[in-house]
């Protein structure tokens, strides 16, 4: 995944235009009323720049501070795999009224959709692997639990 770079602009208050109605204080935790100075202050560090305070200010005293020096970068490193199963390249095969999955690429959402359409779902061990199917596989247990609620548990077979 490519890094996503975005700017975060905090807000500021024009104290001369501010009517001290404290609406901003009531809707956002970044604002506080300073009784000693009779002023509203904004915590620019915790401000996310969402703009709800700007939209709710009746005197238009709140505005974004556009600072080109503020950049944040989010980088998520995920390993990209062509297939979940390293041995075979197929996810599922459709035969008549059956949807046959390789256990390593079993997709619970697709299986539930197939059951909803009236198809039978068969989960088999990978054709190119000697590994056996673990009957306690979390995905199998969950789909069986879901289908039991709807009295459709016989629609999924593990072979």
Identify the pLDDT of residue 39.
94
The C-alpha atoms of residue 106 and residue 123 are separated, in whole angstroms, by 7
* Mean predicted confidence (pLDDT) in 27-51: 90
The domain spans of the chain are 4-74, 92-158
* Residues 100, 127 contacting (CB under 8 angstroms): no
Is the predicted pLDDT of residue 143 greater than 90, yes or no?
A: no
The C-alpha atoms of residue 97 and residue 113 are separated, in whole angstroms, by 13
Identify the pLDDT of residue 37.
92
DSSP annotation of 36? T
Percentage, residues of the chain above pLDDT 90: 28
Note the pLDDT tens digit of each residue in 21-37. Answer: 999 999 999 999 999 99
Whether this model's pTM surpasses 0.75: no
Task: Give backbone dihedrals phi and psi of 59, rounded to 5 degrees, phi first.
Answer: -100, 5
CATH number of the 4-74 domain: 3.30.70.20
């Amino acid at each position: 995944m490519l890094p996503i770079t975005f700017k975060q602009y905090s807000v500021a208050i024009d104290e001369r235009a501010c009517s001290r109605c404290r609406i901003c204080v009531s809707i956002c935790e970044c604002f506080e009323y300073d009784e000693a100075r009779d002023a509203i202050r904004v915590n620019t560090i915790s401000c996310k720049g969402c703009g709800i305070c700007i939209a709710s200010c009746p005197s238009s005293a709140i505005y974004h501070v556009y600072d080109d020096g503020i950049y944040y970068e989010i980088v998520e490193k995920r390993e990209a795999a062509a297939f979940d199963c390293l041995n075979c390249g197929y996810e599922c095969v459709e035969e008549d009224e059956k949807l046959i999955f390789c256990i390593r690429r079993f997709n619970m959402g697709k299986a539930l959709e197939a059951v909803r359409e009236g198809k039978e779902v068969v989960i088999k061990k990978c054709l190119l692997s000697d590994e056996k199917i673990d009957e306690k596989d979390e995905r199998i247990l969950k789909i069986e639990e879901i289908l039991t609620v709807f009295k459709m548990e016989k629609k999924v077979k593990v072979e």
